Structure 1
Amino acid sequence: MPIFGENSDVDARQKGMFSMNLFQQKRLIKTFYLIAFLFVPLLVHLAVIQLFHNEEYSQKALEQRTLQVALEEIPRGKILDRTGQQSLTMGEKEPRITLFPQIIQEKQTAANRLGRILGRNPDELLAFFHAKPQFLPYPLTESQIRQIKDLKIPGVMVEEISLRYGVEPLASHVVGHLGHISGLASLEKLNSLTEKNYKISDLIGTSGLEYFYEKELKAEQPTMLARAYVDVYRRLIQGLGIQTEPQQKTGRQDVITTLDRDIQATVEKIMDEQLPRGAVVVMDARTGDLLAMASRPNYNPANIAQSLSDGNDAFLDHCTALYQPGSIFKVVVAAAALEEGLVKPGDSFVCLGDKDHYISCWHKPGHGPITFEEAFAQSCNPVFAELAVKLGAQKIIKYAQAFGLASQNIIGYPLSKDQRQNLELIAKPYNLVNSSVGQGPVLTTPVQLTAMMNVIVNNGVYIEPRLVKGVLNEQGKMSRHYPMGGSHKVISSETAKEIKRLLWLVTEKGVGKEAMVSGYGSAGKTGSAEIGNGKKTVNAWFSGFAPYDRPKYVVTVLVEGGISGGASAAPIFREIEKSILMLPH
């Protein structure tokens, strides 16, 4: 019996131990799953880092153990001309001293030696030796480059730097300029609008294409880096030293415009010589593409501080600003009258000069008996006032709108609409007569007048002006494409052909003789808009095209503070047309 009892106790103990082991095993399993569950988010996070942010964190790790200098003045995409090859900011690569101050032991000695080569005070240079790695802002001659290399100072190099701006950047008002981020609120907003990372020290677009395409142009890496591999004591690591490394993914994109760099440069050169205040617009007569847009006074986007001291007027883009067009608006009145059958080229009128019933003529004695085509060539005001009264305000408004004079749209260039432009004001009391000669409430931009004149060239069809072709990514593909402008019929081909002939009469025997381009033939319309500032100031216009038989370029010239369209704007039109027609295109 005792033996039997002892066996029972053993069995009981064994069963108890088994139950306890089973409980411990279950607890261990639960603990394992709990720990595994807790580690899942960490594993997922590590997987995300490895799969999606590996390059980013590798870059940060590399930056922590190296010193680097961006071999690019402003890491940013380019704004290119219509070829997609030539930058409008005219930036090039130029040699500069690249400095790694942390590596340089004898800073004063190095500053003294560089100062002698550069012809600068060593104390001026010494400030750079106590700053972050950077390139110095001094241009270098070939002789200076050789002398600096011969110094063989560790941490002092000469490298090619990509500069954003050349000596004479083009189309500054269209391209726009850069500025600093105004504060933390602006910084937060920028970072919320794009996946790209902005820092408070970054430069961003504040006007023009630089502003409209900021998200695309912004680069997160320079195209090229000079990188110094150092140990914890900031000593160069043997075998690695300082290397220049291209960056494959910079995040930038380029904007391809419709502007032609050669035409733009030609226009700006002529303006600098002859047109201190005003605007010039050049349009491709076949496509509606804007080939040049230039405004004066000008500013230098590479030196905004200096430009600001010259006055805010330098930043106004006169090409897209509103002005009274003067007698160029007579093209709309003439087209409407011909299209509506109210007049024929040979119809007779009488001009009484400053004694006319509706409006005085610029020719004070009066033209006397005059045909419609003669009135157009001589820009006779009373004849067009009489036609406007016969047409009525609503028809003039309708044709002006069809000619694009109510639309400020430019493809790829989303400017805010200037609400002062309102053709409906033509119908208000006492406005019709003044409106018939492009005064009173009639306001247009040089771009609009160029597109209006292009209607005549294109057999009565309006083509919306285009400034941007698209955006090119780093893979060389268009990430955004803007097709050529939409079109609509404004007047019949017959009316357009007749207006074209009348425009030729202006330059052949009328008030625009100075706009005739010898060897090519040209046609167009003058305008002289008086500004009501008490000083009898005139904005002088000429808008036309050449060659006459096969028009290639439509050009509009505005001269602020001129004498008249025929005396001030027409000669500049002639020189621009002839110069760009002779370019090798």
Structure 2
Amino acid sequence: MNRMNSRRLIFLAGLFSILFFLLEAKLFYLQIVKGQELAVQAIQYRTELFPYEDYPRGDIVDRWGRSLTDRGERPVVVVFPGMIEDREKTAEKLEEILAIPSAFLMRRMSEIEREKSAQPFVLKVNVDSQMVRELQNYPIPGVYLLPMITRYGPRSVAVHVIGYVGSQKQKKQTEGSEDVGIETIYEDVLNRGSHRYYWRALVDARGRLIPGLGFKKIASSEDHVPRNRVVLTIDREIQEIVERAIDSWVKKGAVVVLDVASGDVLAMASRPAFHQNWLDNGCQPEPGSFVNRALEPYHPGAILKLVVAARALEEQVNGWQLIGYPQTKPFRAGAKVAIKGSLGQEEFLLSPLQAANLLRTVARGGLYSPPRLVLEIQNGSGEVTKFFALPPSQRVMSSGTADQLQLILKPVFLSQSKFQDRQGNYYAAGVSGRNTYITVPSEAANGTVLPQTVIPDWFVGYAPLENPRYAVAVLVEEEKFDGYMAEQLFRYILKEILEKESVRAEAGNP
């Protein structure tokens, strides 16, 4: 009996030894051999990742390399849907703090639920200090403030030139948005980046943030892709001057500033404007905000008298003669319709960009060339991969005719548009397209009569009077104005530009 018990004990001991050996071997395999891999999988299973940058794209910069989109790191509001406890209360609280419609947040959450995805998303960028304080003082589960590199900051300029980045779904939902800016035109050049960093949040089985661990910035495992950048001819300082002026004076209109010598677009602004982040924040921009009025055709008013006078001088017209499209075509201005009068208030159309280039042509003694907006494309190392040379110039009027037009301009503005730098030697020349406030009927292609069209207030010219450097076109499309709004804006903008130029010269900067 004792021998049998001994055998049983030996058998059980051997069996347990084998089982312990197998268990230890399994633990060794899991902890030592596969330990690192399993640890990574466990972290991934309990991890929420969020990009450290909203759009990994190449930058769009001005002629001196300064960002036009104000790209940079700033706090953003990020929503983690899986961590939200009460959707309705959260949406109402965020509407109170961030001024974002609660319906927008509820819609986003419903879309995420339908897609069976709990991916975090940015709710608001460009969060001001008051919003930051309220979110910090009254924490909301599932809503966090995270530092993030955003493409569009509060000082983003030239939005109609730049365009915006957004999903096709967002663009279709935004009424009237026609994305024809640099972002779209150079999509293949700019959209070559990859995310370099992510925010990692460790969560429990219910998707709640684990207290004490918070968020950690981690490097991406993706290969780094060098980013191209597009360099425009815009001068950010001049663009800011124009935008400050137009925001202070005009609700609806446009301004264009050209370099007389090269034809480079130094500034282009249109109002009303939109902010590129509105598309992500659920706000519907003001109607007409996506229209770039600097490129839209308008009735030129009295500006057309320059074209008529130029052709009359070229043809040595003495007396009355009908001047039509074939005679104005060399000036690259207007539409393919007959000109019925020198006031241009019926069928001849001109955009602010064309108007500025018209005065630039006069300032250059009759030499015409198309404006240039894109200067070059650079790779990730800053090397120029494509340079856009200046378009060739073409003589569209004799130098004698240009001289006569310059003489026509001088008497109009010497007494009204005097510009002085610190040495007191600047004057401007130009022409007013000012009209009394009138409307003209327009007709659609199908013959239906459209609502009456407002004749805008124009002012175009160049400065300085001697050796001009800047050609400026100002258009004011207001229902009520005193007839001098465009001229006042023109004078203010050029005064600021010339003063800025003097400061640059004194500092030894270009």
Match of 2:326 in 1: 397
Match of 1:475 in 2: 381
SS of alignment partner, residue 397 of structure 2: coil
- Cα 1:133–1:177 change in 2 (3 A) is closer
Cα RMSD of the aligned pairs, angstroms, is 4.8
Equivalence map 1:125-524=2 (5 Å): 131-132=118-119, 137=124, 139=127, 160-182=147-169, 206-226=179-199, 242-245=216-219, 249-250=224-225, 252-304=227-279, 308=284, 310-311=286-287, 313-342=288-317, 386=319, 389=321, 392-393=322-323, 397-398=326-327, 400-405=328-333, 421-422=335-336, 425-426=337-338, 432=339, 434-508=340-414, 513=416, 515-518=417-420, 519=424, 520-524=426-430
Equivalence map 1:15-164=2 (5 Å): 68-87=49-68, 89-95=69-75, 131-132=118-119, 137=124, 139=127, 160-164=147-151
Contact 1:540 1:568 in 2 (8 A): yes
- Cα 1:565–1:321 change in 2 (3 A) is farther
Match of 1:579 in 2: 496
TM-superposed CA distance for 1:554, in Å, is 0.6
Per-residue CA deviation, residues 330-369 of structure 1 (Å, 9 max, x unaligned), is: 11121222233346xxxxxxxxxxxxxxxxxxxxxxxxxx
Contact 1:435 1:442 in 2 (8 A): no
Aligned length: 421
d(CA) in 2 for partners of 1:63 and 1:451?
A: 58
Matching residue within 477, 481, 484 for 1:560: 477
SS of alignment partner, residue 86 of structure 1: coil
SS of alignment partner, residue 255 of structure 1: strand
541-550 vs 489-498, which moves further = 489-498
- Cα 1:555–1:136 change in 2 (3 A) is closer
Contact 1:66 1:228 in 2 (8 A): yes
Per-residue CA deviation, residues 187-207 of structure 1 (Å, 9 max, x unaligned), is: xxxxxxxxxxxxxxxxx9933
Per-residue CA deviation, residues 34-54 of structure 1 (Å, 9 max, x unaligned), is: xxxxxxxxxxxxxxxxxxxxx
Contact 1:178 1:205 in 2 (8 A): no
- Cα 1:142–1:314 change in 2 (3 A) is closer
Alignment TM-score, normalising by the size of structure 2 = 0.68
TM-superposed CA distance for 1:443, in Å, is 1.1
- Cα 1:461–1:566 change in 2 (3 A) is farther
TM-superposed CA distance for 1:444, in Å, is 1.4
Query: Structure 2: where are the runs of 5+ without partners?
Result: 1-40, 172-176, 442-450, 505-510
Larger proportion of helix? 1
Match of 1:531 in 2: 439
Aligned AA for 2:52? Answer: L
SS of alignment partner, residue 266 of structure 2: strand
Contact 1:172 1:299 in 2 (8 A): yes
TM-superposed CA distance for 1:96, in Å, is 5.0
The structure that has the greater radius of gyration is: 1
- Cα 1:283–1:85 change in 2 (3 A) is same
Percent identity at matched positions?
Answer: 30
Alignment TM-score, normalising by the size of structure 1 = 0.60
Contact 2:345 2:455 in 1 (8 A): no
Contact 2:274 2:285 in 1 (8 A): no
